[in-house]
Amino acid sequence: ITIRVDDDVLTWYKARGPGYQKRMNHALRKWMQDEPQRQADWGVKPAKAKKR
């Protein structure tokens, strides 16, 4: 997988030492898991997952 990240974001993660990719993945996973609550807080209906 290739993902584009702004230079300042990557620099911030790398500055915290080894394991920056794992920390980035953790942050993305947390965002993903918290989405239903954010949508409820914002009054947005969840999007349906696309079928392949």
CA nearest to 47, candidates 30, 34, 33, 35: 35
Q: What is the mean pLDDT of each run of 10 residues along the chain (52 residues)?
A: 96 98 96 82 71 69
Percent helix, strand and coil across the chain, each to the nearest 5? 60, 0, 40
Res 12: pLDDT: 98
Query: Which domain does 27 fall in, by range?
Result: 7-40
**Does residue 25 form part of some domain?**
yes
Does pTM top 0.85 for this prediction?
Answer: no
Count of domains for the chain:
1
Q: What is the pLDDT of residue 40?
A: 77
Q: What is the sign of the dihedral through the CA atoms of 3, 31, 18 and 13? A: positive
- The identity of residue 17, as a single letter, is G
Residue at 2 is within a domain = no
In a domain, 46, yes or no: no
Burial 31-43 (b: 16+ CB within 10 A, else e): eeeeeeeeeeeee
Output the pLDDT for position 43: 77
In this predicted structure, what is the pLDDT of residue 32?
86
Would you say residue 32 lies in a domain?
yes
Q: Is residue 33 part of a domain?
A: yes
